[in-house]
Structure 1
Amino acid sequence: MIRYTCDMCGREIKPHTLRYKVNIDIIAAYDTLIIAREDLKRDFQKEIKRLLEKMKDMNEEELMEDIWKNFSLDLCKKCRDIYLKSPLGLVSTEEL
């Protein structure tokens, strides 16, 4: 039997009781590329070398997390209600 634990309070979520799944995707957002005349004068070879140098000590996971990260949480009813009141965690739970 699969056992679930609330990722917020740590309590076991009993079998056959309602649990809530929270999926969070953090994705790098890119704006539309607008190329100005000054951009065409840049040294792209130099910039590529700089980026490759910056990336050489990073592993695949670190590089990927810079673009996309996913979290999946299981919450009990009480913690779900708290989470909905402050999904960014900007308010302490005592204030709720």
Structure 2
Amino acid sequence: MTSPEDSPRGDDRHAGAPRQPRPPSGQRAVDQVLSIVGFVCAAVAVLFTPVLFGLAGIVLGIVGHARGEPLGKWAAVAAGVGMVIGTALSFALESIVS
């Protein structure tokens, strides 16, 4: 019998490489869609409709964090900061124009 490290094809290029731990079942390491969309909403909230996009980014970040995405809480924080900056920017621009 061959051990799991023996390659049946004779390919030794991965023989000394450490094995990566497997992510929890049902989730792959690249499944961070909610966090990424939350960061996009945070960036858009600075320039366009800060309350709408900021709240959407916060919700997406929280839901992503609840699903185990490591960047979820940072997406929520970034969306909150983007919402505050966008609101302050719109008030400042409105006071200049008026």
Q: What is the TM-score normalised by the length of structure 2? A: 0.21
Q: Counting helix residues as a fraction of each chain, which structure ranks higher?
A: 2
Q: Counting strand residues as a fraction of each chain, which structure ranks higher?
A: 1
Higher RCO structure, 1 or 2 (CA under 8 Å, sep 6+): 1
